[in-house]
Chain A
Amino acid sequence: MKKILIIGATSAIAGATARLFAERGDALYLVGRNNDKLQVLAGDLRVRGRGQVVTEELDLNDMAAHEAMIARATAALQGLDAALIAHGTLSDQSACQASVEMTLMEIKTNALSAISLLTLLANIFEAQKQGCIAVISSVAGDRGRQSNYVYGSAKAMVTAFLSGLRQRLAKAGVSVVTVKPGFVDTPMTSGFKKGPLWAVPEKVAADIVHAMDGKGGEIYTPWFWRFIMLIIRHIPEVIFKRLRL
């Protein structure tokens, strides 16, 4: 039985991951913005699992509240073995282009709030010398593309931050997992046309649990995105700037 903090728990990927944790008997502390959704999820997890499920409603852009939330989670579960940070918004690229305010808000939601949480969690996990921190980043962070570079650059920041954090925490025996999902069929992407590259949240969740149980590191999910992004990263700028990606 593990004690797991899930931040942004009502996202489709986090919800599917929480089910896998609950089914194996883990105790869960769920944090999310919408209390109605949190209660529906918590009720579901209580039927599927036998472990403890606690919820907390919090807007994660309220960074001043992060420290107290983590303290409450630690107290409620009597310790933490793992944390999964999964909150985020899929930025409206064209709206961001027209608004500095919106661009900065997207960066705050998708990067800064995660970095605030990571800074606090890293110190706790480093001191206790065990555990796993996992964050849902994105393949979009591997290279900025005109269609979503605001979201992509926020995720790039998270990915780079985690890369450094992984090095630092390795000495303390704490694993750090960077999850890079490709296209996932969730409410966040409901407006998109789906094709063969699209994965279901349950598949991504299984990959996350597998990585969090293992040694950590960067995972692409589904796995083939590693090769797609390898190609995309290596396209020379001269050609890249003419592409419509």
Chain B
Amino acid sequence: MAQQILRSWGRVLAAPADVVDMPAAAAPFPALPAGSSSLLPFGKGRSYGDSCLNPGGALLRTKNLDHFISFDKDTGILVCEAGVQLADILRVIVPQGWFLPVTPGTRFVTVGGAIANDVHGKNHHRNGAFGCHVRRFELLRSNNERLICSAEENADWFSATIGGIGLTGLITWVELQMQPISGPWMDVETLHFSSLDEFGKLTAESDSRFEYVVAWLDCSDAVGRGIFFRANHSAETEQYKKPLCLSLPVVPPVSFVNNLSIKLFNTLYNKKSDGSSRAHYEPFFYPLDGVGNWNRIYGPKGFYQYQCVIPARHGLAPIQEMLAAVSKNGMSSFLSVLKGFGSKPSPGMMSFPCEGVTLALDFANTGASVQRLFAALDEIVAGVDGRLYPAKDGRMSGALFRAGYPVLEKFSTFVDPAFSSGFWRRVMEGK
């Protein structure tokens, strides 16, 4: 048993933990290491805050659960162990004419993590969240009970585990439905917008015609301008060379991200011209995967991502307020993403997306100043019954979490008694 210091993607939190490796999908549930009172499944550590950490407890790594079990190239049904990365799935299925039905902004996450966080992508308005495409999985509980979960069988466990942030048990294998494509190419349209109203109009006209829609916001002021991307899988079938991959080998001593560099980046990025183009799926879906360990750019103190969803009935006004709050606090977000969520419900009871619009902002960890800003943003989110995304969070209050997820009481009854996380203890404190 080795104690290791593990960080989540935001690098703000570092927690020593006993690391236990699950030896195989069929292996019995491992014993808790001496001195640990709880355990949490750990995939690639791509959650930003403490939802994938268990300070003082143990982490159950799934890196040995990285085997494919079957893929039917006629039906697109894939069965694999929970530690398989989305990147590996793409490598196998894209040449055979299939694609992930939903993908987050990085392909370096495990299937188990994608289910536990019920991740979403640029096609939420069409395909809903990841959980909508999960046919079945096996859940291993700490009492060694194995539950096959689907919409028909153990449906309540199915619903609790999708978006259940790893707390209901260990997912050992999953069965997923893939979607057919012609090839690896995307037909992309790029359009500038100069206000949130324009963003709203573009979203409304694009959702029915484009499978993928997302906007990048220029956060250097509160106007709400940015660039709108909309795309479809292309009918082009030709294969092409893989793009180059760079990596940040070490953590720089200070953050490279400050208001000046953000201004520069935004100015340069804004020069991107409008028009249509054809792109490979990798740079389109995973622009940041092209730079390994890009999270290190924020230096030793790390960074936070703030991702909220604003229910549709409130329109875009709360987003405008949030941009104003960012600007008023003298802060700037390097990467700001705005996207409309559709109405397709996920089977996951704790799933984050709901019909409306989601905003994701990245901030360097500047201590008290960024916390002050978060408090102001929280107030806006709470005022419109919005909620934050646990996968990105390392600081929200228990009250905000409980208000955003009213199903929490019911969900708690599915939490495995041997499982816990830093996030879970934090938001459930005093409850």
Contact = CB atoms under 8 A, between A and B. Distances in A.
A47 B2 contact: no
Contacts of B26: 36, 40
B4 A47 contact: no
Contacts of A36: 24, 26
Interface string A173-193: 000000000000001001111
Contacts of A192: 2
A194 B2 contact: yes
B268 interface: no
B67 A44 contact: yes
Given A43-B69, A47-B80, 11 more contacts: A23-B91, A37-B24, A40-B26, A43-B67, A44-B66, A44-B67, A47-B92, A187-B23, A191-B2, A193-B2, A193-B4
A48 B64 CA distance: 16
Contacts of B1: 191
A195 B23 CA distance: 21
B380 to A, nearest CB: 43
Given A47-B71, A48-B92, A187-B64, A40 B24 contact: yes
Given A36-B26, A187-B21, A190-B21, A43 B2 contact: no
A41 interface: yes
Interface string B1-39: 110100000000000000001011110000000000000
B70 interface: yes
Contacts of B2: 190-194
Interface residues of B, number: 18
Given A48-B92, A187-B21, A41 B64 contact: no
B92 A43 contact: no
A43 B64 CA distance: 15
A49 B113 CA distance: 25
A44 B24 contact: no
- Counting from the closest, the 4 A-B pairs by CB-CB distance are A47-B68, A44-B67, A44-B68, A47-B71
A230 B64 CA distance: 33
A47 B24 contact: no
Interface in B63-86: 64, 66-71, 80
A43 B24 contact: no
A41 B66 CA distance: 10
A23 B2 CA distance: 33
Interface string A20-44: 0001000000000000110011011
A47 B21 contact: no
Nearest to A47: B68
Q: Which of A23, A37, A47 has the most CB of B within 10 A?
A: A47
A43 B68 CA distance: 7
A44 to B, nearest CB: 4
B23 A47 contact: no
Nearest to B26: A36
Contacts of B23: 187
Contact of B4 (A37, A40, A48, A194): A194
B248 to A, nearest CB: 16
Contacts of A48: 68, 92
14 contacts: A40-B26, A40-B67, A41-B67, A43-B68, A43-B69, A43-B70, A47-B68, A47-B92, A48-B68, A48-B92, A187-B23, A191-B2, A192-B2, A193-B4
A71 B372 CA distance: 72
Contact of B70 (A47, A187, A191, A194): A47
A191 B33 CA distance: 13
Nearest to A36: B26
A190 to B, nearest CB: 6
Nearest to B80: A47
Contacts of B24: 36-37, 40
Q: Which of B1, B2, B26 has the most CB of A within 10 A?
A: B2
Contacts of B25: 40
B77 to A, nearest CB: 12
A40 B4 CA distance: 29
Interface string B34-64: 0000000000000000000000000000001
A155 to B, nearest CB: 24
